[in-house]
């Protein structure tokens, strides 16, 4: 990461403004090349630099493919790559990552190009953020104070998001908050900080950003939906607190999201994922997608969305619809749904399901996903000849997540035998009722202890957020037992089979060996690898 991110001034400008992003405020055009000291001194050009910090959100090596390949694939929710045949494209390289999704040889992930590219991808976003923050604080800029404050707040929120992903995949990582200086080894070869230190920086960035971020309603009036908002920063802060088991702070941050008034619980579950309703009333952070098929350069199309069944032999739309061929919901996820649950067909669809008038593909042991599918034969928004590409936005954090995180924190903050909090009961019932589940009733849940309700909420998270890539992080934060038991259920680990023996080290992925080598040993490997 250190050497890759040391560019000449002209190359950095291409990197930052030669992006391929997205809609509305992301449609900025490069205006030639200057030095770093002169280019970003105007408001328009500073905006271009800020857009460059958003750009990694849409890369397949970060959120757009690696996140869901690992977030779903390395859990009990997904049948990813069990035959060792499937590959993932990161940048211009096709690389197998089945080693990390079926846990057959996790040590090999340290030398996997996919993991190296993912690691660099998040750091590239951090590097861009650090560079723009330095430029924005340069006295030579002619940017208004209001715009400068907002730009700084957006960039700090994005940097916090990129570090959040790194700390959850790898644990403590090198903490860069200033641009790299190629002449200073201490700037480029930083040892790893602790996970707690990384979280402290995440909290600092978000709490400093929130006062200067707009409400989502403001971005809507500006036609700039997709930019970071107070709700986005508070929502990410709630996640950061919950993952550290800071339950009172989680509740406070979640309440702050609610207090913005920008978000509403969707009665229609699928409304959160329809192509016709992007940036909807539940969306806090959402990747903005278009039809760009420039995949090798980190294009912004949604690789998780397909307009054909994964078994189709050609790149043309088939008679039924399903998720990507190697991103298939597991039979275990399918069977976790109660029979009456109307959410199931969007999370784990089978060939008897109809979604928005379109027939789905799959069976209970190898289901399809409808959440990110470009539905409808001959859909005019499909990319010609590219049925595996769809311009459907991908919601990263939505309002239901905020409500359920708050409910979880309320239960976890109490003694296990205490009475279940009524506010947490209300959230759980509301979420289940949306899926047409009326039993147990609120009165029954009210008889639960806090620990019993906590267990019910965690089970409900799996169904509510199925195939949205948060499952791996949820299992990890719930502990080794939760992770191990989930993987045992689907046969991804088995202590009777030498290649599938569980190791506690698997709670974190190995640091890419390349990063250790170029740091000259300043960066160390995770224990157990």
Would the pLDDT of 167 be above 90? yes
How do strand 93-95 and strand 88-90 relate by DSSP bridges? antiparallel
Helix (H) / strand (E) containing 195: helix 195-209
129 or 29, greater pLDDT: 129
pLDDT given at position 408: 98
Q: Which residues in 220-288 belong to E strands, given as ranges?
A: 283-287
pLDDT given at position 252: 98
Kindly give the interhelix angle for 450-464 and 422-434, rounded to the nearest 10 degrees.
30
Would the pLDDT of 86 be above 50? no
Average pLDDT over residues 394-415: 97
pLDDT given at position 79: 80
pLDDT given at position 332: 96
Q: What's the token pair of residue 234?
A: 């508070």
77 within 8 A of 466, measured Cβ to Cβ = yes
Rounded Cα distance, 486 and 273, in Å: 27
Would the pLDDT of 80 be above 80? no
pLDDT in tens, 318-375: 567 776 666 789 999 999 999 999 999 999 999 999 998 888 888 999 898 888 877 7
pLDDT given at position 486: 97
Would the pLDDT of 156 be above 70? yes
pLDDT in tens, 292-302: 544 333 333 34
Helix (H) / strand (E) containing 15: helix 9-17
Rounded Cα distance, 85 and 90, in Å: 16
77 within 8 A of 474, measured Cβ to Cβ = no
147 within 8 A of 192, measured Cβ to Cβ = no
pLDDT given at position 3: 27
Mean predicted lDDT score pLDDT of the chain: 84
Average pLDDT over residues 269-288: 93
Q: What's the token pair of residue 238?
A: 């709630």
Buried b (16+ CB within 10 A) or exposed e, 312-345: beeeebbebbbbbebbbbbbbbbebbeeebebbb
392 or 440, greater pLDDT: 440
64 or 4, greater pLDDT: 64
pLDDT given at position 233: 98
Q: What are phi and psi of 399, to 5 degrees?
A: -60, -35
Average pLDDT over residues 53-65: 90
pLDDT given at position 91: 43
Q: What are phi and psi of 449, to 5 degrees?
A: -80, 170
pLDDT given at position 323: 62
């Amino acid at each position: 990461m250190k050497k890759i991110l040391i560019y000449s001034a002209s190359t950095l400008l291409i990197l930052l403004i030669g992006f391929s992003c997205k809609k509305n405020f992301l449609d900025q055009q490069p205006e030639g090349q200057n030095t770093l000291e002169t280019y970003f001194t105007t408001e328009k050009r500073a905006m271009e630099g800020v857009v460059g910090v958003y750009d990694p959100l849409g890369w397949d090596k970060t959120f757009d493919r690696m996140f869901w390949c690992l977030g779903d694939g390395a859990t009990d929710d997904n049948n990813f790559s069990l035959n060792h045949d499937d590959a993932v494209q990161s940048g211009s390289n096709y690389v197998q990552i089945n080693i990390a999704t079926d846990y057959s040889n996790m040590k090999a992930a340290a030398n996997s190009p996919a993991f190296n590219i993912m690691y660099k991808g998040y750091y590239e976003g951090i590097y861009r953020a650090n560079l723009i923050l330095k430029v924005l604080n340069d006295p030579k800029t002619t940017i208004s104070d209001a715009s400068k404050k907002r730009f700084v707040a957006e960039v700090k929120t994005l940097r916090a998001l990129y570090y959040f992903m790194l700390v959850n995949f790898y644990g403590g990582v090198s903490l860069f908050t200033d641009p790299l200086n190629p002449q200073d080894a201490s700037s480029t070869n930083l040892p790893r900080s602790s996970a707690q230190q990384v979280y402290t920086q995440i909290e600092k960035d978000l709490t400093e950003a929130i006062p200067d971020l707009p409400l989502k309603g403001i971005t809507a009036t500006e036609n700039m939906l997709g930019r970071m908002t107070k709700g986005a920063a508070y929502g990410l802060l709630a996640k950061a607190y919950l993952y550290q088991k800071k339950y009172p702070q989680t509740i406070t941050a979640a309440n702050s999201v609610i207090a913005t008034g920008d978000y509403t619980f969707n009665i229609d579950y699928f409304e959160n994922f329809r192509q016709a309703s992007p940036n909807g009333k539940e969306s806090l952070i959402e990747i903005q997608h278009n039809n760009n098929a420039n995949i090798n350069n980190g294009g912004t199309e949604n690789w998780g969305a397909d307009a054909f069944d994964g078994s189709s032999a050609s790149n043309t739309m088939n008679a039924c619809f399903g998720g990507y061929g190697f991103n298939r919901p597991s039979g275990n996820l399918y069977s976790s749904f109660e029979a009456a649950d109307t959410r199931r067909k969007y999370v784990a669809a089978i060939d008897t399901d109809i979604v928005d008038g379109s027939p789905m593909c799959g069976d209970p042991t190898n289901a399809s996903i409808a959440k990110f599918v470009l539905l409808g034969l001959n859909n005019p928004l499909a990319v010609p000849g590219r049925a595996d590409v769809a311009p459907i936005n991908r919601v990263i954090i939505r309002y239901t997540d905020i409500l359920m995180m708050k409910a979880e924190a309320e239960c976890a903050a109490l003694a296990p035998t205490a009475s279940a909090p009524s506010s947490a009961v209300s959230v759980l019932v509301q979420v289940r009722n949306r899926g047409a589940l009326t039993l147990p009733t609120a009165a029954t849940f009210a008889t639960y202890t806090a620990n019993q309700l906590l267990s019910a909420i965690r089970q409900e998270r799996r169904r509510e957020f199925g195939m949205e890539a948060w499952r791996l992080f949820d299992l990890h934060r719930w502990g080794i037992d939760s992770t191990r038991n989930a993987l045992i259920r689907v046969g991804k680990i088995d202590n009777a089979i030498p290649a599938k023996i569980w190791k506690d080290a698997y709670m974190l992925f190995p640091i890419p060996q390349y990063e250790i080598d170029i740091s000259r040993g300043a960066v160390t490997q995770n224990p157990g690898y």
